[in-house]
Structure 1
Amino acid sequence: MTGVPASAAGGPSGAQGAAAGRADAHGAAGALGSSGALGAARLGSGDRGASGPAPRPAGSGAPEQDGGRAPLGEKITAAAVNQASVWNVANLLTMLRLLLVPGFVALMLADGGYDPAWRSFAWAAFAVAMITDLFDGHLARTYDLVTDFGKIADPIADKAIMGAALICLSSLGDLPWWVTGVILGRELGITLLRFLVIRYGVIPASRGGKLKTLTQGVAVGMYVLALTGWLATLRFWVMGAAVVLTVVTGLDYVRQAIVLRRRGIAERRAALEETRG
């Protein structure tokens, strides 16, 4: 029929077309949404892309890794675990030697300082201190027990027990004061010298220095005991050998310090000239 409007004639097909268009649009949006949701789900499930590892789930206790490197907190924890504890056997021996110093002085000066029995007890305390001095450093180096406390306390304990024995002997008149002055002056001077040249390097302990320490310990121990006769004469010669070793090794340390300082200065000048050139 010719009188029917075009909109009416095409009504059903137009409505169907519009409905189909809306369905297609809805399906595309749904597909896009589902693909986005799928992508988000894949990222959330820990899928590793080219950009790197997936984010770590919140609340998980696993440490986050960055290129196989542990976080700073883990490094600090590991360093704290690897560092030797202050309360180890080497440091305990050092602390025992420090505690023996006042006990040794009390035993040495008991009953006027000339009683053979009290001097024997003082010798026993001195001997224990010397023996612990031989073992604490060896244990610290062998079993990796070196600590900052040990580095500071060990030389203090060594000089404290030796200085206390020498001063007590000189104050009692058993040992000339000049011997005490030479030995203690050398020990304090070399310690100060080590600190002065530490910027250029460390002066290692020599065999002569170890022999000096052993000879000093034997000589002082013989003087602590109330010896008479040929043993009293023998201790005089042992102390003489200790004084000679004290002076000779002290001069050798001074020579090493001078060489070390000159070498360090020369190396610094060479490095400075190389940077300028």
Structure 2
Amino acid sequence: MTEGSPGSPGTPPAPQASVYNVANLLTLVRILLVPVLVWLMLEDGTGWRVAAFAVFAVASITDKIDGDLARARGLVTDFGKIADPIADKALTGAALIILSALGELWWWVTIVILVREIGITLMRFVVIRYGVIPASKGGKLKTMLQVLAIGFYILPGPWDPIRWGLMAAALVVTVVTGLDYVVQAWRLRRGTPAAS
């Protein structure tokens, strides 16, 4: 029988993944680690900064793990789609703000990155009725460079050349991919809505 044919029960819809799954749990853990990271970064002493680096590293790794698990095991949920990017931006945003507040990173760098991240996220929600802007390879590279740069800024030690190089690369890729997303959104907006 064909689904939805008159007089037939039809084929039952595919079961939706429960919101209570390991991928969403890891996302929640990442969100809960943000205030822990902030607290550790605000404490004085090398040991505290090493602990902050460890927390940041663990939280960053959960981002990779929860995404892979969600896709591999069919655990993608609406909660995960919303919470995952929020967790990512909360983690990197909090670290950048604390680094700038401590005078270890120029404020303009933090502002450029945060404006791009928040702006692109809002733009994606605005144009979603016309279609979805998929994550690009450049976007994934941007995330990796940001995480590496922030990690080296948090980690105590004589890492300045590496910190500066990674942050410069992250900043360039962040801006370039942001402009690319704006162009994609503009083209999507000018085209036929996805629902048509």
TM-score, length-scaled by structure 2: 0.92
Separation (CA, whole Å) in 1 of partners of 2:95 and 2:7? 60
| 2:76 equivalent in structure 1 | 146
Amino acid at match of 2:72: T
Pairing 1:14-163 to 2, within 5 Å after superposition: 67-69=7-9, 82-111=15-44, 115-163=45-93
Separation (CA, whole Å) in 2 of partners of 1:172 and 1:69? 63
Given the alignment of the two structures, is residue 165 of structure 1 paired with residue 98 of structure 2, yes or no?
no
More RCO (CA 8 Å, sep 6+): 2
Separation (CA, whole Å) in 2 of partners of 1:217 and 1:264? 37
Residue 152 (structure 1) shift: 1.2
* Rg (Cα) greater in structure: 1
| 1:261 equivalent in structure 2 | 189
Moved beyond 3 Å, runs of 4+: none
Amino acid at match of 2:38: V
Residue 142 (structure 1) shift: 1.3
Residue 67 (structure 1) shift: 4.7
Amino acid at match of 1:221: G
Unpaired runs of 5+ in structure 2?
Answer: 1-5
1:95-144 C-alpha deviation (Å, 9 max, x unpaired):
11011001111111113xxx111000000000011101111111111111
Unpaired runs of 5+ in structure 1?
Answer: 1-65, 272-277
Residue 199 (structure 1) shift: 1.2
Give SS of 1:133's match.
helix
> 2:155 is matched with which residue: 225, 233, 238?
225
Separation (CA, whole Å) in 2 of partners of 1:167 and 1:68? 58
Give SS of 1:264's match.
coil
TM-score, length-scaled by structure 1: 0.66
1:178-217 C-alpha deviation (Å, 9 max, x unpaired):
0000000000000111011111100000000000000000
Residue 86 (structure 1) shift: 1.3
Amino acid at match of 1:105: V
Separation (CA, whole Å) in 2 of partners of 1:263 and 1:160? 33
Relative to 1, partners in 2 of residues 1:227 and 1:264: Cα closer, same or farther, differing over 3 Å? farther
Amino acid at match of 1:162: T
Give SS of 2:174's match.
helix
| 2:167 equivalent in structure 1 | 239
> 1:194 is matched with which residue: 116, 119, 124?
124
Identity percentage over the alignment? Answer: 63
Separation (CA, whole Å) in 1 of partners of 2:168 and 2:142? 11
